Amino acid sequence: MTDLTLTNSMLISPRSLMLSAWLGHIPFASWLIEQLEPRSIVELGTHRGASFLSICQAVQEQGLTSRVFAVDTWEGDEHAGFYGDDIYNELHDYQQRNYAGISEMLRMRFNEALEYFADDSIDLLHVDGLHTYEAVREDFETWLPKLSSRAVVMFHDTCVRERGFGVWQYWSEISRQYPSFEFTHTHGLGVLLVGGERNPALTALADRSASGEFAVINRLFDVLGSNIKRAEEIERVYVGLAEARSEVNRLGALAHELQQSVAQAGQQLNEARSGALEAQQALLLYREQAERELVQVREHAAQGLAQCREESGQELLRLREQSERELQQYREQSERELQQYREQADRNVVTPDDLQRVVAEQRSQAVDELQERLGMQMEARLQEMFSPGLEGNAQKLDLLLRPWWRR
């Protein structure tokens, strides 16, 4: 353990903390930047930027002239999941505000970015793209010519053996070809010393790993990384508390609005009840008034009917007397005419049957005319007596029977 000295670079405190599987390796990445002092750093697969931003911060804090490049489509894949432009936009905004002078984000596929780097120019390569065996192997082999003589390559997720991850398999093969060491915490990080000009501190760690003495080093950086992970968890708790407070305030405001709405609704309900009570009282008054008017109409109708009956009885009696007088007059006239016909018959020698027939026709005609005239007089008189009263009563009955709210 005497070969590894604790330095300030190991105690880096990330300015930007985010939930990431890379947080536990930030202390080592900072120490690695200090030891290697790379001229060009390339990261294949950046996502939210936990490793990219920590490397940028280490370069900036240590005053190095390194250039840091992040290559990614920022569209996602089957392992990281697929996402929209919001992640790229947020990361790019932060990078431009804090590390625009030392870093660059290349939004393209890994093989499309190859032409922007000269051979033997990259001192530190971080492979963290699609994690299948084939993809990791292709990433390393296609970028191998771009690595310098003192290049170091980091492979993330060397300890993940699920969901089609194949980094562990390729690491088991490639780590036999170059000096290397592996951290087993935070999903695993393999460090491969590819260049022939190897940094002594890194070579010492590779020798420890080869001799089985790397556990203490692994534990040291695990503890240092755990502090950052706990800091991120605490920050998430604070963010959660702030969101909870905001939600509590929102719910309090909503509760206040609901209380006001309930009070307003109660006031409206009381007003509605008062209006309903007034309407009920008005209905009772209208009903009582209608019943009184109905009684008055019935009494008036009964009085009118009784009066009509009395007047009609008197009129009928007068008409009967008049008809009897007129009938008596027709009888007397008929007797006179009969006498005249008899006298004429005596002169004209008329038979008794002819005479009887003529007399019957005259009498029948006279009776018909009398009945018709009496009937017309009776109808006219009855209509004169009954129509005005009945029409007025009908109007009153219609008014009473009409619903009160239509008046």
Residue that terminates a domain, selected from 180, 213, 246:
213
Report the DSSP beta bridge partners of residue 103.
68
Q: How confident is the model at residue 155 (pLDDT cuts 50, 70, 90)?
A: very high
Q: Are 171 and 318 within one domain?
A: no
**Under a CB-based contact definition with an 8 Å cutoff, are residues 350 and 341 in contact?**
yes
Could you give the number of structural domains in the chain? 2
pLDDT class of 228 with cuts at 50, 70, 90:
confident
Answer yes or no: is 338 within a domain: yes
In a domain, 247, yes or no: no
Please name the residue ranges forming H helices in 22-166.
26-36, 50-61, 85-98, 110-113, 133-143
**79-130 confidence digits (pLDDT tens):** 656 767 899 999 999 999 999 999 999 999 999 999 999 999 999 999 999 9
Query: Is residue 95 within 8 Å of 49, Cβ to Cβ?
Result: yes
Condensed to tens digits (0 to 9), the pLDDT of residues 356-398 reads: 776 677 777 766 776 677 667 666 665 665 555 545 555 554 5
CATH number reported for the structural domain that contains residue 164 in this entry: 3.40.50.150
Contacts of 80 (CB under 8 A, 6+ apart): 45, 47
User: What is the pLDDT averaged over residues 160-184?
Assistant: 95
Same-domain status, 209 and 294: no
Tell me the β-bridge partners of 77: 81
Task: Name the residue among 44, 48, 38, 268 with its Cα closest to residue 152.
Answer: 38
Is residue 376 domain-resident? yes
Does residue 18 sit within a domain? yes
Pick the residue with more confidence: 114 or 4?
114
The residues, any chain, with a CB within 8 Å of residue 209's CB and separated by 6 or more, are 180, 181, 182
Domain that holds residue 36: 8-213
CA distance 26 to 156: 12
Dist. CA 79–CA 163, nearest whole Å: 8
User: What is the number of H-type helices and E-type strands within the chain?
Assistant: 9, 9
pTM: 0.60
- Report the pLDDT averaged over residues 218-241: 76
Distance CA 92, CA 100 (A): 9
Per-residue pLDDT at 373:
72
Shared domain for 170 and 40, answered yes or no, is yes
pLDDT at 168: 96
At position 111, the amino acid (one-letter code) is N
Question: What CA–CA distance (Å, rounded) separates 88 from 90?
Answer: 6
Per the model's pLDDT, the better-predicted residue between 392 and 280 turns out to be 280
Instruction: Looking at the structure, tell me whether residues 97 and 208 fall in a common domain.
Output: yes
209 shares its domain with 296: no
Which of 179-191 are b and which e, b meaning 16 or more Cβ less than 10 Å from the residue's Cβ? bbbbbebbbbbbb
Work out the pLDDT band at 250, boundaries 50, 70, 90.
confident
Q: What angle do CA 300, 305, 308 make, to 5 degrees?
A: 125
Let me know if residue 148 belongs to a domain.
Answer: yes
Query: Are 48 and 193 contained in the same domain?
Result: yes
Does an H or E element contain 157, and which? none
> For residue 218, is it within any domain?
no
Q: Are residues 201 and 295 in the same domain?
A: no
Do 122 and 14 have their domain in common?
yes
Give the pLDDT mean for 43-55. 95
**Domain limit, last residue, from 154, 178, 213:** 213
Instruction: Tell me, yes or no, whether 167 lies in a domain.
Output: yes
- Do 193 and 300 reside in the same domain of the chain? no
H helices of 121-214, where?
Answer: 133-143, 167-174, 200-211
The phi and psi torsions of 147 (rounded to 5 degrees) equal -80, 145
Q: What is the pLDDT of residues 194-227, one digit of tens each?
A: 999 999 999 999 999 999 999 999 999 999 998 8
Does one domain contain both 184 and 326? no
For the chain, the farthest-separated pair of C-alpha atoms sits apart, in whole angstroms, at: 185
Mean pLDDT of all residues in the chain?
Answer: 83
Q: Amino acid identity, residue 265? A: A
Domain boundary among 161, 180, 213: 213
User: CA-to-CA distance for 32 and 29, rounded, in angstroms?
Assistant: 5
Interval 51-61 mean pLDDT: 97
pLDDT of residue 138: 97
Rounded-to-integer distance, Cα 163 and Cα 92, Å: 30
Residue pointed to by tokens 């009928």: 316
Q: Are residues 166 and 304 in the same domain?
A: no
Residue partners of 102: CB distance under 8 A and separation at least 6: 56, 59, 60, 66, 67, 68
301, pLDDT greater than 80: no
Give 30's pLDDT tier (boundaries 50, 70, 90).
very high
In 3D space, the residue among 100, 144, 94 whose CA is nearest the CA of residue 120 turns out to be 144
Q: Which of 145-149, 207-211, 252-256, 395-399 has the lowest mean pLDDT?
A: 395-399
**Does any domain span residue 377?**
yes
Exposed (0-12), middle (13-18) or buried (19+): which is 95, by Cβ within 10 Å?
buried
CB neighbour list of residue 385: distance below 8 Å, 6 or more residues apart: 308, 311, 312, 315
